[in-house]
Structure 1
Amino acid sequence: MIYSKIKELEALGFSQRNIAKQLDISRNTVAKYSRKDVETFTTWLSSTKHRKQKLDEHKERVLDWLRTYPDLTTAQIQDWLEERGFENVVESTLRRYVKNLREEYQLPKQVYQRQYEAVPDPPMGEQAQIDFGQIWVTTEEKQRIKLYVVAFVLSHSRYKYMEWWDHPYRTEEVIQAHEHAFQYFSGKPKTIVYDQDRTLFINENYGDIIFTPQFETYRQTQRFKVHACRGADPESKGRIENVIGFIKNNFAKNRTYSDLESWNHQALAWLKRTGNGKTHNSTKQIPEQVFKVEQSYLLPAFSLSQKNNHSEGVTNLEVRRINKDNTIKYLTNRYSVPRSTYNRLSYVSIKVENEQLLIFDPTTGEHLATHSLCLETGRLIKNRSHERDQTHSIKSLVERVSKRFTNKDEAGIYLEIIHQRYPRYTRDQLELIDSLGPLYSQSLLDSTLTQCLQKRIFSATEFREILIRLKKQEELVSPSEKLPMNDLPIMSRRTQEKLLHIEPEVRSLADYTELLEGEK
């Protein structure tokens, strides 16, 4: 039919350019047919009907794929053929062959297209993008199963990595996928672009990102920058959006699932063969070749399992939030951490080993505490040393508390006696007295110290009670009647109690009623 139309248009005087445009074919095809007379063309056409093409041995297989999967692409057919050992396939030849099969057997292709805005490529080693996807596939038993994937792509070279799960992914699994990706890349980028996935991000407050505890610990450990995309902003992560679509439509779609291990093995083979081994449509370069240059720009990424011994508690990556009372919750019990921990950390890393709970600083690996695991429920497991400030010695604490008083030497003697009487609770005793300093005047503190020394009262709690009582006495006595503070210690106990129990005179209601009736 094409030959006849070409000859017909030639007879009407149309040029080869116009004929090619009208018939939507190439000028080379028009020129080739124009040179053939009717007899030559008939002989040639007859020979083509009996000529066997190289791809004919896969004709039935390809037709079966096209009937089963109407949206199958030529690139995916090529990958499937190569996966089955048929490697010497020229893409343009296969494309023409598939096109002819679709026309001959009336198998039109279903096309889905999505548009993205172009974004300039960042420098080498600067950025990677990460996103998640899911797809329904068919098992060997003809059942449907939902698979989940996380994909990584280096924004400059377009070098990719992916990992699959047969269940909804958890935070620790995503973190482990990061480790595998960094190993696959032999390094890590400076910045990673994420969609706001619930396994990594809790909330965004006008640009302030709140990470999940486990991911925050991992981010601080690996020390990479995080860029979280805004909602409904696919252009900011268009590269990974394209990668997810490429993986789903070229690798996963219409592929038969047997087991997760085989599926991930096939995925890595596909990356080497197609995902990173074929020319990229946008860059017109092969990602694997560009990556060989970009690799030297990546930052070194240590494996968590290679971290030094003093930080082995971080390798487990179990984290717990620190409560205001300097405790963490594990299972159904609470375990203490040093008192100053809450002020400098939000989370700690934990590890269970030999029936003990080990607690670490997630950023430095410093060992903070060790507790024996409690088998009961609802218990508080507390190390007494966590109740005290370990940053100062008893001597320095005595010196600090002594400065609260006018007579520092006398105060030092008093505090030293308390230390001798309460050796195990010295710090508690001295800190209680120290906490009273900002609440009471210098004169009241001095008077209380004098009274305690005179009456040989060496206890912080009794010191506090006397101080409170003197404060009440000071408030009850009017300015004109107020005694000098030096006289307070000789006030009799009966007088003190009398002052504390003074009550105003109360008249009977009948007296007021009688007065009102009299005025009538």
Structure 2
Amino acid sequence: MNHKDLNNWIMYYEIQKLQRLGFSISKIANYLKCNFRTVQKYLNMTEQEYEQFLIRSSQRIKLLDCYETFVKDKLLEFPETTAAQLHDWLKEHHSDFPEVSPRTVYNFVMFVRGKYNIPLQPKERDYFPVEELPYGEQAQVDFGEYNLKTSGSKRKKVRFFVMVLSRSRMKYLWFTDVTFTSETVAQAHEYAFEFFQGIPLVIVYDQDRTILVDENIGDVILTAVFRQYAQSRGFKLHFCRKSDPQSKGKVENVVQYVKKNFLYNRTYYDIKTLNEDALSWLGRTANYLPHNYTRKAPQEEFAREQPCLLPYVPLALKNPQPKPYHVRKTNVISFKGNFYMLPQGTYKGTGTQVNVEEKQWVINIFNLKGEQLCSYPLSTSKGQTIGTFHRHRDTTGKIALLINQLQEYFTNKSKAEEWLHHIQDKYPRYTRDHLLLIRETLTRYKENGEIPDKTLDFCIKNELVSGTEFRDVFYCLWDQNLSGKQILTPITLLNETNLLKINETPQVSNIDDYESIINN
């Protein structure tokens, strides 16, 4: 009895046992993860019937039986051949080969391997220990990412940069919560060199797109930002071939070490806390405990390697130049899959542009004169409209400028300024709205005499600190000022050239004439 038949008999007896225990067909199917029709069929079979069923199943004619000799010969000659390669050979050498799924071919190839005892023999790669490099000769760099749990039971993806000195195995680790770019990779190198207080002669990399544009048959093409950075620092770059992590084994092990020893079951609070915890972990564990291969503590070996590194002098990296983006007529820009709102009036017609500067997880938006318009946290979602500006709000002036303008309406400017600042303290989020309401009230009634000063004195005396209260008091005093005055409505002349008609009195009808007409 082969292994497959043994599993089939175990399944048969398990179904029979569960039925005797009172399980229904559907519960047996759910428990054994099989189809309820299979359970029903097996329950209706005796042991003898089930045995005959297995024999018939093993002896049934396979669709590809006529190609068995061809497949066997190829496998005997090339034991490492995959089922996909044999599928292509079958179609190449047999024009009448039927249309079957790759899974059917795979099952048939595995059947032939088992029947003729031709195991799959993958090509083994020969390995040998790498000679220990001199102190300060080389470092290795790699990147990783991991999903951490937050305090709110959500998930947060973080990316990390790791650099290992090849001789001492001294490690450096830096985290970010945004996607790596050429600028952030260069900044991560600076953090590592500052941590080591030195620079290795050669750094080994994978073919990462933030560093390398094209391998170009050995004449590598670097990204513009990283090429300038590497030239300024003077270290040499060595790139592994694609899909060949074995040639850079030291750092590949560190990436897994970080995930399994430091990040596993760790709670994410913020990126600053995570980086502080990472440095603590390096000091107490990763760089403190003896290395499994060298049996030496990386910190002790680093004391010998550090003097052999190139001198480290802090380098002030240039901030990336802001990129221009077109402003849409709705006063928004499209940036990384989201719409970010701008102050009303930013759009000046076709061709209006603003500059966008991204720093870590914040984007700053400037006009072409370099004046900052607004700033937003960088959103990780897509298709969102982000902003808090009210489209009817006047955003042309600053708070201080509005206060200075309003002081001019009052005799005692210092007293007015103090009261206006009380509004700012009481309503920090709505200061502009209150000041604009006061300005609108004062400018609507220009010939107001002493009313602004009286209104201010009344508000201060009664501790009224808001734009709406100022407006109500102002209108009340305005109405009192108008009471007792006769308001004459001017006469509009139909014919301004004939002024003699001003003194004429219109003819008046006799009411008796209308009464006689109605009564008759």
| TM tier relative to shorter chain | 0.3 to 0.5
TM-score by length of 1: 0.38
TM-score by length of 2: 0.38
